[in-house]
Amino acid sequence: MTKPIYILNGPNLNLLGQREPEIYGHQTLDGIEAACAETAKTAGYEIVFHQSNIEGEIVDQIQEAGAKGCGLIINPAAYTHTSIAIHDALKSVDVPSIEIHLSQPAKRESYRRLSFVSEAVTGTISGFGADSYDLGLHALINLLKT
């Protein structure tokens, strides 16, 4: 059986829909999960979808994705800009990984311009709102096919 695609979400993304909608849009994380499951199913994949506000739990989920998944998509949220632990976890797994963001961090506050994650992933997609997840999923599925 094909291994699942892991989709991991960092802190405060559980509040999508009500959190700064002018930046992050009105889509909820449950809505994003449902859309991802549908896209994946059409391509013959299942997803495992997690959200955590705790850095160490995200590290555990990345390790699980490396052991049990075929690839991973991660929106590390604020940990993008701070977490060497998440960077190291991504470097230690042997599956393709895509970093995604709803907003375009490069256009925002200067402290969002640094991503510790970008150096450790296969590629990055940002700035397309909830569509960033779908674009990331398509990119990952294309990578898995090659």
Binding ligand DQA (rule: CB under 6 A), the pick from 28, 53, 103, 118 is: 103
Question: Which stretch in 58-66, 75-83, 87-95, 133-141 sits in contact with ligand DQA by CB under 6 A?
Answer: 75-83
| Shortest spacing between CB 145 and ligand DQA, in angstroms | 26
96 binds ligand DQA (CB under 6 A): no
Within its chain, how far is the Cα of 80 from the centroid? 11
115 binds ligand DQA (CB under 6 A): no
25 binds ligand DQA (CB under 6 A): no
125 binds ligand DQA (CB under 6 A): no
Give every CB contact of residue 97 below 8 A, 6+ residues apart in sequence.
Answer: 71, 72, 73, 74, 90, 120, 121, 122
Binding ligand DQA (rule: CB under 6 A), the pick from 39, 58, 101, 136 is: 101
DSSP 8-state secondary structure symbol assigned to residue 129: T
| Shortest spacing between CB 39 and ligand DQA, in angstroms | 18
> Helix, strand, or coil here: 32?
helix
Structure tokens that stand for 2 in this block: 């094909």
Place of tokens 């674009």: 135
Nearer to ligand DQA, 70 or 125 (CB): 125
Of 80, 99, 90, nearest to 120 by C-alpha is 90
Active site amino acids: 24, 101
